[in-house]
Amino acid sequence: MKSVSVKQFLQDTRDGNIDLGDFFSKVIEKNEVIQEKYGAFITFLQKLEAPRKKGVLYGLPLSVKDNICTRNIQTTAGSRILEGYMPPFDATAVDWTKNEGAVVIGKTVMDEFGFGTFSVNSAYGIPKNPLDADRTCGGSSGGASCLTLAADFPHVALAESTGGSISCPAAFTGTVGLTPTYGLVSRWGLIDYANSLDKIGCIGKAVYDVALLLSAIAGSDAQDSTSLT
């Protein structure tokens, strides 16, 4: 599978130049290798849903930090306490990306309940930095930054920050992290660390990637009274 940018991939999917069934089979195979080599996931999926709609993220692989709820996909916030928890709903940010055609490929490693700056406090292993496997990916969104750097396929990551948990791992891995202004993105469906500080944001390989993802998740949500109009 030839590596292309997110922008080019989305153009190709809109033009019908990509067989998404074949593409996602290869993504699953690549995720297995990434998991074995770097440990980026808590849960990665062996079967992927078809894109819900042909929106601005049509067919784009999306990973989700494991404190953001995903319907019928284990969500643990990095803790054994929540092992096996299958939310019956998607967080608003996840739902809105699906409405734009993104496809969830798995849940990424994080410090337990977000408590940490290096992703070494997870109950599900420590993600290795693809730049140097003896070094940390930063935290607490370490799995998101690890996967973003390691993936040689188009991909964006939903991450979350309370006090540096997006910018820190992005800096450690040389990826692009965007921590939005509080209230810009709905936190409905987020397992909180500190309710008045938490922000759901983005990690990607390029500024274009995170800007596009932000455009899909930003906006007022009736289920989160702190979200901005």
37 is catalytic: no
Q: Is 3 a catalytic residue?
A: no
Catalytic residue selected from 63, 141, 145, 165: 165
Task: List Cβ neighbours of 9 (8 Å cut-off, separation of 6 or more).
Answer: 18, 59, 60, 154
Of the listed 65, 98, 128, 199, which one is catalytic?
65
- Specify whether 65 is catalytic: yes
**87, two tokens:** 């939310």
140, 141, 145, 227: the active-site residue: 140
Q: Which residues are catalytic?
A: 65, 140, 165
